Amino acid sequence: MSSAGKVYSWGCNDDGALGRPGVENKPMLVDLPCPVDMISAGDSHSLFCNSQNGVIYMTGVYRNILKGNMSPVFKTPVRLGEREFQYQKIEKMISGVNHSFVLISGKAYAWGDPECGVLARRPSYRKKFKMGLMIM
Domain count, the chain: 1
- State pLDDT tens for residues 40-58: 999 999 999 999 999 999 9
Is residue 37 a part of any domain in this protein? yes
What are the distances in angstroms from CA 68 to CA 35, 38, 64, 73, 125?
32, 28, 5, 12, 17
- State pLDDT tens for residues 116-135: 656 655 655 555 455 556 67
**Distance in angstroms (rounded) separating the CA atoms of residues 107 and 112:** 17
Helix, strand, or coil (residue 9): strand
Is residue 1 a part of any domain in this protein? no
Residue 131, pLDDT score: 59
Is residue 78 a part of any domain in this protein? yes
Is residue 2 a part of any domain in this protein? no
Which residues are 103's β-sheet partners?
A: 92, 108
Q: Which pLDDT tens digits describe the chain residue by residue (136 residues)?
A: 899 999 999 999 989 999 999 999 999 999 999 999 999 999 999 999 999 999 999 999 988 877 788 788 999 999 999 888 888 999 999 999 988 999 998 888 888 887 765 665 565 555 545 555 667 6
Domain housing 127? 7-132
